[in-house]
């Protein structure tokens, strides 16, 4: 292993580089690069996403891109078409147009006199998704990618559907994009900003309605799902994820299916690992630099000799809706991720579960009814923890009381669960449409219950996400519910619980009728790794550039609370995320944002389910007297035949309403 020189290069920043596309659209990029790159060309690192480089990701960009530039890279942070300061209109996520634009950007960058001709692509979430999808198109200059918090399967493992169930994140994140993409360009950069904004407001799509029109894994979802053909990706791939994030399964899948791919999974939520929580953070930038130096710079940094999979095994701790740190240790698998690890099969009995390491019993038969109230699931936490509020799964005892539970005896020795558990069940259903949620919990000595991992399944999707079929009412069927990947240690003396419910609100939208499931048998397949005795890998400590300094005009705050109307019986989860209001002296931009969600349901009536979202966003240049604001609203309900959505967008200049648009749609339920 060799190291690069320690001397850092002076850099220049270009805040608004125009990149022309072949159809005449002009994208906006922010570039950091060594000031001598014209004489000594450097590789390019591209981050390409819709979240507004000027006033959206600017704080995290300040930590990351100048750091790479000082070490010999040109970093391009590009707003995709129709977002931020880029021209054009956005019609959906990950469209062929979006990916084609990215290929043009890569070829443009490679042809610049300050570029050595090699390009890498890096990004988290949307940026991580398109890094994978663009890599599958194989643009010639693209040699390596780093994808964080992403997915290989857009239907099975994104914010839309899970196990064939409709995630309420489909509406929740759709509301987020409804707000983000309707914001104006920066008037200081675009003389025609008002025309651009009005065109954007008129054509901005309400994406949840589009996504809800594809309730099966059809060609719409196959597009951009790199699991359709892993071999299409030839760029060297480093995949990074977090156990506190929604996207827990992509890193193991990429390591198992892409030759030479490397994976890192820490305890983090949906953030870059050099500033993520819970801690411990790692020196992600140093790890990324080794990756770029090797694959883009041609240096021998030893990355090919790194273990294929490095994961953080979290100590089992008491339940909490937020953790600032998670004790544990790093493990390393030389080849593959977890597919090669042994699996213990633990049989279910009437309320019991075999203890790991015990002699497995003969499969038992029993009849245990499960008819959970529709409000079961209030302790699930956020599907994708990202805003740093009380978003993690809390104590599961409340949801456990509404579920069928199978408990093991106290385990005799520390147990490291590493991989994706699966629950195999025999059951009957009294309705043709139903769903099931399975939680693997850690039971503490005093009865506290920590969720380790979970899975959900639309029973109509039990055999196929592409071709669902109704449940045969009253007939016994066998199903398998996969649970998300995890790395978690249960200490000796504590117990394991499998909790099974027929509802999981507000994580998933309910089936149209209450259903009673009768469980008659089953077994838990539990991946178990030899107990790690300490850290098997050590990362350097986190490093970053200086944080962006802003003036706080209104501090932010995050609220999650459950309200029960004692008259009607309706239960509501109220979410309020105030992101504060800040002025950035470097750009003169002041932004303030508040997001609100309400998820209500009656415990006895799945058709009472309702979701409401409202985002307010302010964009100001106080020195120029510019005050722009958007208010975005959306709502969803259903009957037994269709989903009903409505939405509204308002845009203000000062206190004057300059644009308003309403929409609605009713979308038939398709085995959902």
The pLDDT confidence band at residue 362, using thresholds 50, 70 and 90, is confident
Comparing CA positions, the residue from 373, 371, 374, 352 lying closest to residue 361 is 352
Q: Please compute the mean of the pLDDT values over residues 285-305 and round it to a whole number.
A: 97
Residue 360 has pLDDT above 90, yes or no: no
Peptide bond into 506 cis (omega under 30): yes
For residue 598, how far is the Cα from the chain centroid? 21
At which residue do the structure tokens 């979006």 appear?
98
For residues 458 and 436, is the Cβ–Cβ distance under 8 A?
Answer: no
Residue 5 has pLDDT above 60, yes or no: no
Question: Any idea what DSSP says for residue 302?
Answer: S
Distance CA 654, CA 670 (A): 44
The pLDDT confidence band at residue 55, using thresholds 50, 70 and 90, is very high
Question: pLDDT tens for residues 68-97?
Answer: 999 999 999 999 999 999 999 999 999 999
Distance CA 263, CA 256 (A): 10
Percent of the chain with pLDDT over 90: 97
Q: Which helix (H) or strand (E) holds 219?
A: helix 219-222
Q: What is the CA radius of gyration of the chain?
A: 25
Phi, psi torsion values for 48, nearest 5 degrees: -135, 110
Residue 4 has pLDDT above 70, yes or no: no
- Six-digit token pair at 567? 């008259």
The pLDDT confidence band at residue 358, using thresholds 50, 70 and 90, is confident
The pLDDT confidence band at residue 357, using thresholds 50, 70 and 90, is confident
Q: What is the three-class DSSP state of 131?
A: helix
pLDDT of residue 2: 35
For residue 66, how far is the Cα from the chain centroid? 26
First-to-last CA distance in the chain? 54
Question: pLDDT tens for residues 639-660?
Answer: 999 999 999 999 999 999 999 9
Helices (H), 14-165: 58-69, 96-110, 126-135
Query: What are 378-381's contacts with CB under 8 Å, separation 24+?
Result: 378/505, 378/506, 378/562, 378/571, 378/573, 379/451, 380/451, 380/454, 380/504, 380/506, 380/507, 381/321
- Six-digit token pair at 26? 């002009």
Question: pLDDT tens for residues 231-251?
Answer: 999 999 999 999 999 999 999
Q: Which helix (H) or strand (E) holds 369?
A: strand 368-370
At which residue do the structure tokens 């213990």 appear?
344
- Six-digit token pair at 414? 């520390």
pLDDT of residue 7: 80
Comparing CA positions, the residue from 321, 377, 385, 389 lying closest to residue 173 is 385
Angle at 281 between CA 280 and CA 286, to 5 degrees: 140
For residues 345 and 329, is the Cβ–Cβ distance under 8 A?
Answer: no
Comparing CA positions, the residue from 351, 383, 521 lying closest to residue 454 is 383
- Using a 10 angstrom Cβ sphere, with 0-12 exposed, 13-18 middle and 19 or more buried, the burial of residue 432 is middle
Q: Please compute the mean of the pLDDT values over residues 179-196 and round it to a whole number.
A: 96
Can you state the angle between helices 284-295 and 58-69, rounded to 10 degrees? 50
Question: pLDDT tens for residues 307-335?
Answer: 999 999 999 999 999 999 999 999 999 99
490 forms bridges with which residues in the sheet?
Answer: 415
Comparing CA positions, the residue from 181, 106, 185 lying closest to residue 140 is 106
- Six-digit token pair at 540? 């350097």
pLDDT of residue 1: 31
For residues 665 and 647, is the Cβ–Cβ distance under 8 A?
Answer: no
With a CB cutoff of 8 Å and minimum separation 6, the contacts of 409 are 355, 358, 495
Peptide bond into 278 cis (omega under 30): yes
Comparing CA positions, the residue from 186, 560, 134, 574 lying closest to residue 385 is 560
Question: Any idea what DSSP says for residue 305?
Answer: G
Q: Please compute the mean of the pLDDT values over residues 491-508 and round it to a whole number.
A: 98
Question: pLDDT tens for residues 515-545?
Answer: 999 999 999 999 999 999 999 999 999 999 9
Distance CA 84, CA 86 (A): 6
Average confidence score pLDDT of the chain: 97
Q: Please compute the mean of the pLDDT values over residues 2-31 and round it to a whole number.
A: 88
For residue 100, the tally of other CB atoms under 10 A from its CB is 15
Question: pLDDT tens for residues 573-617?
Answer: 999 999 999 999 999 999 999 999 999 999 999 999 999 999 999
Q: Which is higher by pLDDT, 4 or 319?
A: 319
With a CB cutoff of 8 Å and minimum separation 6, the contacts of 464 are none
Residue 6 has pLDDT above 60, yes or no: no
6-15, 100-109, 239-248, 283-292, range with the lowest pLDDT: 6-15
Distance CA 223, CA 212 (A): 16
The pLDDT confidence band at residue 488, using thresholds 50, 70 and 90, is very high
Q: Please compute the mean of the pLDDT values over residues 395-407 and round it to a whole number.
A: 98
For residues 501 and 452, is the Cβ–Cβ distance under 8 A?
Answer: no
């Amino acid at each position: 292993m060799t190291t690069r020189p320690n001397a850092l290069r002076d850099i220049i920043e270009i805040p608004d580089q125009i990149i022309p596309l072949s159809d005449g659209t002009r994208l906006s990029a922010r570039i950091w690069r060594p000031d001598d790159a014209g004489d000594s060309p450097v590789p390019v690192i591209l981050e390409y996403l819709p979240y507004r480089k000027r006033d959206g990701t600017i704080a995290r960009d300040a930590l990351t891109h100048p750091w790479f530039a000082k070490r010999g890279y040109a970093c391009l942070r590009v707003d995709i078409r129709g977002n931020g300061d880029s021209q054009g209109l956005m019609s959906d996520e990950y469209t062929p147009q979006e990916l084609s634009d990215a290929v043009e950007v890569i070829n443009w960058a490679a042809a610049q006199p300050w570029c050595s001709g090699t390009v890498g692509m890096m990004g988290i979430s949307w940026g991580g998704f398109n890094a994978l999808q663009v890599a599958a198109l194989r643009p010639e200059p693209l040699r390596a990618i780093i994808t964080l918090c992403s997915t290989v399967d857009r239907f099975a493992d994104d914010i839309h559907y899970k196990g064939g169930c409709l995630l309420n994140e489909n509406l929740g994140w759709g509301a987020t994009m409804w707000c983000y993409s309707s914001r104006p360009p920066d008037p200081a950069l675009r003389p025609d900003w008002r025309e651009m904004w009005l065109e954007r407001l008129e054509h901005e799509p309400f994406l949840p309605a589009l996504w809800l029109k594809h309730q099966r894994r059809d060609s719409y979802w196959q597009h951009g799902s790199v699991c359709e053909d892993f071999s299409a990706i030839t760029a060297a791939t480093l995949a990074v994820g977090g156990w506190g994030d929604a996207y827990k399964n992509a890193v193991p899948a990429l390591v198992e299916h892409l030759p030479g791919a490397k994976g890192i999974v820490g305890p983090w939520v949906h953030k870059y690992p050099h500033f993520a929580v819970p801690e411990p953070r790692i020196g992600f930038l140093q790890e990324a630099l080794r990756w770029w130096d090797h694959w883009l710079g041609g240096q021998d940094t030893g990355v090919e000799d790194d273990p294929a999979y490095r994961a953080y095994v979290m100590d089992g701790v008491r339940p909490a809706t937020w953790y600032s740190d998670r004790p544990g240790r790093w493990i390393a698998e030389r080849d593959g991720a977890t597919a090669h690890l042994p699996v213990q099969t633990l049989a279910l009995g009437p309320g019991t579960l075999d203890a790991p390491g015990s002699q497995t019993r003969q499969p038992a038969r029993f009849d245990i009814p499960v008819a959970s109230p529709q409000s079961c699931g209030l302790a699930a936490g956020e599907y994708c923890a990202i805003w740093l509020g009380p978003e993690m799964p809390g104590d599961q005892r409340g949801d456990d009381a509404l579920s069928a539970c199978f408990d093991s005896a106290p385990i005799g020795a520390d147990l490291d669960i590493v991989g994706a558990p699966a629950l195999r069940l025999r059951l009957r259903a009294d309705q043709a449409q139903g769903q099931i949620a399975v939680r693997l919990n850690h039971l503490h000595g005093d009865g506290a219950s920590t969720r380790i991992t979970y899975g959900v399944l639309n029973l109509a999707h039990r055999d196929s996400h592409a071709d669902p079929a109704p449940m045969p009412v009253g007939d016994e069927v066998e199903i398998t519910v996969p649970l998300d990947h995890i790395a978690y240690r249960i200490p000796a003396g504590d117990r394991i619980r499998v909790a099974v419910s027929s509802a999981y609100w507000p994580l998933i939208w309910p089936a149209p009728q209450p259903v009673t499931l009768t469980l008659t048998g089953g077994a838990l397949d539990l991946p178990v790794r030899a107990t790690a005795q300490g850290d098997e890998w050590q990362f350097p400590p986190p490093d970053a550039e200086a944080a962006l300094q802003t003036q706080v005009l209104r501090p932010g705050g995050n609220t999650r609370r459950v309200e029960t109307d004692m008259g009607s019986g309706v239960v509501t989860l109220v979410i309020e995320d105030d992101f504060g209001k800040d002025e950035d002296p470097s750009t003169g931009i002041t932004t303030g944002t508040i997001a609100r969600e309400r998820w209500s349901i009656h415990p006895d009536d799945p058709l009472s389910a309702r979701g409401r979202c409202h985002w307010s966003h302010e964009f100001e240049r106080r020195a120029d007297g510019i005050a722009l604001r958007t208010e975005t609203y959306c709502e969803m309900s259903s009957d037994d035949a269709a989903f009903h959505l409505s939405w509204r967008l308002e845009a203000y200049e000062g206190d004057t309403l300059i644009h308003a648009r309403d929409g609605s749609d009713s979308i038939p339920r398709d085995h959902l």
